[in-house]
Chain A
């Protein structure tokens, strides 16, 4: 804390010293005075390494007068909510070496309000290599952090509204169709809305930057008995390839249709069927995603007599939206779907999720 009244030994020494610094520094002192970056110099050759120089930007940022700053130890802006680890690291850097970590540190102004800054500090050496001063500069990131927080809140609100809107769509459909459409049509509609909701939830969790293919598959197949422990209905083999939002949404709807079909006519209709899903990315200038959905152990299947919404979505969604090639075979062994689609570099950033 700044001391009032009696000046400490360090403060007096600092004030005597500052005139010398101004003279020796010439135009650099003027630059330091006027730059928008808050800066301090301290003198490690005086007891307690006191601050001997603070520029205008530093005073504006912290609300202190210059005489309240001079003579203080350079950690005087830290307080109870300053991260102790960052404090230890910065203190250690004063005994030689630099600190240019990217940690955002909480500091206190004179009025005890706080601000966040990224700090840089390091020694200033003379011609003989002796440390004459320590230099500390602060990048104030309070405004940026506030904007980020605000954006997160907005995005969270938007995600929430999307889910509520989907719940309203579900409610309208269930009540409009009740007694008019048959139950299986209503159930089908509800499942599709829920699949869309699940995909939106995954994307919302990641700020709409993308979603992992494995996560998309897992979330869609969960209601079909994936992970329910009783049956080994599914096997998944492939990395959590990163998909951009549009691709993730299309895949969610495609897997919903494939699984629904399997539950109605294919491998998921009995207790013995199995669905194997395997995929890999072929690297190269034009990367491609190869994905196989193979059903086995179900009753024999035959091609549908007419193309419904599901096969239309699979063939058209993948072929047109994602510029992929889809083959959908209704063999005696079970449905086999092969998807071959371009996956540009920016789409396949692989990330490991815990």
Chain B
């Protein structure tokens, strides 16, 4: 099965520039168009406001600021997303239980599967 969905626009929220660079390359390689990277919550929300986002990859801890408001904004607009984090996942607040989590570090294939998963999940709801 082809897990990539070309031409989808993915919002990248990541404050660590080297990691963001790697993710951009991975996403481009998977056939996504990258929006961002946004390094803070307000910047990410502005990019969502600009429209045209199909899916998002969110680092949870943006230099001490949690990206949950971005997750809420995406949820309100029905845009699926994946959390990418070095945390174990067990410490996610209850409100985000059941969200897709990609544990850092990960391979490109893991990123591709996670994005395809939330996009398909979203498709079945919409």
Of the listed stretches A4-12, A78-86, A189-197, A319-327, chain B binds A189-197
A-B contact pairs, 5 of them (CB 8 A): A163-B87, A164-B86, A168-B19, A175-B21, A205-B88
Interface check B16, CB cutoff 8 A: yes
B18 A175 Cβ-Cβ under 8 A: yes
Neighbouring B residues of A190 by C-beta, 8 Å: 107
Neighbouring B residues of A171 by C-beta, 8 Å: 16, 18-19, 21-22
Set A156, A164, A178, A223: member contacting B16, Cβ < 8 A: A164
The digit string for A300-325, where 1 denotes a CB below 8 A from any CB of B, is 00000000000000000000000000
B86 A163 Cβ-Cβ under 8 A: yes
Interface check B123, CB cutoff 8 A: no
B31-56 residues with Cβ-Cβ distance < 8 A to A are none
Measured as residues with beta carbon below 8 angstroms from the partner, the interface class of chain B is 10 to 19
Q: Known interface pairs A164-B16, A175-B25, A178-B25. Does A170 touch B86 (Cβ–Cβ under 8 Å)?
A: no
A174 B87 Cβ-Cβ under 8 A: no
Neighbouring A residues of B107 by C-beta, 8 Å: 190, 194, 223
Taken together as a complex, chains A and B put the C-alpha atoms of A205 and B104 apart, in Å, by 15
The digit string for B58-102, where 1 denotes a CB below 8 A from any CB of A, is 000100000000000000000000000111100100000000000
A166 B105 Cβ-Cβ under 8 A: yes
Query: Count of A-B contacts with CB under 8 A?
Result: 61
B88 A159 Cβ-Cβ under 8 A: yes
Q: Known interface pairs A156-B91, A193-B105, A194-B105. Does A174 touch B86 (Cβ–Cβ under 8 Å)?
A: no
Neighbouring B residues of A161 by C-beta, 8 Å: 86
Taken together as a complex, chains A and B put the C-alpha atoms of A205 and B89 apart, in Å, by 11
A175 B22 Cβ-Cβ under 8 A: yes
Taken together as a complex, chains A and B put the C-alpha atoms of A172 and B25 apart, in Å, by 12
Neighbouring A residues of B21 by C-beta, 8 Å: 171, 175
- Interchain nearest-CB distance for A223 vs B (Å): 8
Measured as residues with beta carbon below 8 angstroms from the partner, the interface class of chain A is 20 to 34
- Interchain nearest-CB distance for B119 vs A (Å): 22
Taken together as a complex, chains A and B put the C-alpha atoms of A166 and B25 apart, in Å, by 18
A201 B88 Cβ-Cβ under 8 A: yes
Set B22, B85, B87, B88: member contacting A170, Cβ < 8 A: B22
A156 B87 Cβ-Cβ under 8 A: yes
Taken together as a complex, chains A and B put the C-alpha atoms of A201 and B85 apart, in Å, by 12
Neighbouring A residues of B9 by C-beta, 8 Å: none
Interface-centre pick from A160, A167, A190 (highest chain B CB count, 10 A): A167
B88 A167 Cβ-Cβ under 8 A: no
Interface check B8, CB cutoff 8 A: no
A174 B61 Cβ-Cβ under 8 A: no
Q: Which residue of B lies closest to A172 (CB)?
A: B18
Q: Known interface pairs A159-B88, A160-B86. Does A167 touch B25 (Cβ–Cβ under 8 Å)?
A: no
B19 A160 Cβ-Cβ under 8 A: no
Taken together as a complex, chains A and B put the C-alpha atoms of A172 and B20 apart, in Å, by 11
The digit string for A190-232, where 1 denotes a CB below 8 A from any CB of B, is 1001100100010011000000000000000001000000000
Interface check A73, CB cutoff 8 A: no
Neighbouring B residues of A178 by C-beta, 8 Å: 25
Taken together as a complex, chains A and B put the C-alpha atoms of A193 and B19 apart, in Å, by 14
- Interchain nearest-CB distance for B37 vs A (Å): 12
Q: Known interface pairs A156-B87, A156-B91. Does A163 touch B22 (Cβ–Cβ under 8 Å)?
A: no
Taken together as a complex, chains A and B put the C-alpha atoms of A167 and B57 apart, in Å, by 15
B103 A163 Cβ-Cβ under 8 A: yes
Neighbouring B residues of A156 by C-beta, 8 Å: 87-88, 91
Q: Which residue of B lies closest to A194 (CB)?
A: B105
> Top 9 closest A-B pairs, CB basis?
A163-B86, A171-B22, A167-B105, A164-B86, A167-B104, A171-B18, A160-B86, A170-B105, A171-B19
Taken together as a complex, chains A and B put the C-alpha atoms of A205 and B91 apart, in Å, by 12
B61 A160 Cβ-Cβ under 8 A: yes
Interface check A137, CB cutoff 8 A: no
Taken together as a complex, chains A and B put the C-alpha atoms of A193 and B106 apart, in Å, by 10
Neighbouring B residues of A166 by C-beta, 8 Å: 104-105
- Interchain nearest-CB distance for A154 vs B (Å): 13
A121-135 residues with Cβ-Cβ distance < 8 A to B are none
Set A162, A168, A197, A201: member contacting B18, Cβ < 8 A: A168
Q: Which residue of B lies closest to A174 (CB)?
A: B22
Q: Known interface pairs A178-B25, A190-B107, A193-B105. Does A167 touch B91 (Cβ–Cβ under 8 Å)?
A: no
B87 A167 Cβ-Cβ under 8 A: no
